[in-house]
A and B are shown apart, each in its own frame.
Chain A
Amino acid sequence: NAGVMQNPRHLVRRRGQEARLRCSPMKGHSHVYWYRQLPEEGLKFMVYLQKENIIDESGMPKERFSAEFPKEGPSILRIQQVVRGDSAAYFCASSPRRGSSTDTQYFGPGTRLTVL
């Protein structure tokens, strides 16, 4: 399966704990986007990363949320001190390059975070 991989698929955390969500892009893709889908709402952009660089984090909450895409390994979305309002589905998408008319983003299956 050469698609976008996300793990875990389901994650349960208690308030105040940390959540770490992982995303491995499609082979050959070096651009990663994270989106959040709250219950009964559409997907909202959070952050756009390339290897070792955050390109756009305009959709990321200012506190408790961080993201990285290291030279080796998957992209990580980290949520510290989770609250019930963080319960949502978090989707990762990847694309091969930026600024091209052939760019498209392919989504992973998502991680469903539940905060108790």
Chain B
Amino acid sequence: QKEVEQDPGPLSVPEGAIVSLNCTYSNSAFQYFMWYRQYSRKGPELLMYTYSSGNKEDGRFTAQVDKSSKYISLFIRDSQPSDSATYLCAMSAVAAGNKLTFGGGTRVLVKP
């Protein structure tokens, strides 16, 4: 079993819809949780960064962390075709030197 599980998709939504993404994990030592966006043949771009449980909002993006359930989510409101990309969740623990453990990524397609 992988340390971080993420549905590979693809997740297809119409423009303007809410995109809902999630990851589950097994390592309770993870303290920092991130979401990256990766366009085809590009490097990952940091979208959201959260510490421990709770919610964080930044523009159209909302990240949620539930450490008791080992479950994190990313919501994208008012989705645009330019949001079409692969979304990667990533996690780290200070004790592990902050190396990131990634989910496999979810491919999202926003159709005009």
Contacts and interface: CB of A to CB of B under 8 A. Distances in A.
Contact of B100 (A41, A45, A101, A109): A45
Contacts of B36: 107
B104 A109 contact: no
Interface stretch (A62-70, A79-87, A91-99): A91-99
Given A41-B104, A42-B104, A43-B88, A103 B98 contact: yes
B98 A109 contact: no
Contact of A45 (B88, B94, B99): B99
Interface of B: 6, 32, 34, 36, 41-46, 49, 51, 88, 90, 94, 96-105
Interface residues of A, number: 28
B36 to A, nearest CB: 8
B97 A110 contact: no
B9 to A, nearest CB: 12
A55 B49 contact: no
Nearest to B104: A42
Interface in A37-59: 41-45, 48, 55-56, 59
Contacts of B94: 99
A107 B101 contact: no
